[in-house]
Amino acid sequence: MTERVQRGDCDMSDLRGGTVTVTNLGVLGVDSFTPVINPPEVAILGVGRIRERARPAEDGVEFRRQLTLDLSFDHRVVDGADAARFLESLAEYVENATQHAADGE
């Protein structure tokens, strides 16, 4: 499927039947938003833009790139604690992407 998408050889019917959608408004300059679930899917992950933000550091202030992730999910299907653990795991993978790639994950 990835190769078909990269070639531009797919249509909307190829994108139906999923359980989770990822939507990215960050490319349009949006920091954060509330994504709306597309039934019958159970969740949608919204990706905001990457911004440089000041953070406290040992020697004052440092600037770090930050990315906002917003998750909407159907509480009838997914427990809130499970959704929170998913976001926690995703954040850990994003924060340590270089290390995970080196480990072959």
For residue 38, the model assigns a pLDDT of 86
For residue 16, the model assigns a pLDDT of 75
For residue 8, the model assigns a pLDDT of 86
Cα–Cα distance for residue pair 49/69, rounded to 1 Å: 9
Phi/psi of residue 62, nearest 5 degrees: -130, 155
Mean pLDDT of each 10-residue bin along the chain, 105 residues long: 84 80 94 92 95 93 93 94 95 88 81
H-run or E-run covering 3: helix 2-7
Q: Which of the residues are catalytic?
A: 75, 79
pTM metric for this prediction? 0.76
Peptide bond before residue 40 is cis, with ω within 30 degrees of 0: yes
Tokens at 66, concatenated = 């930050």
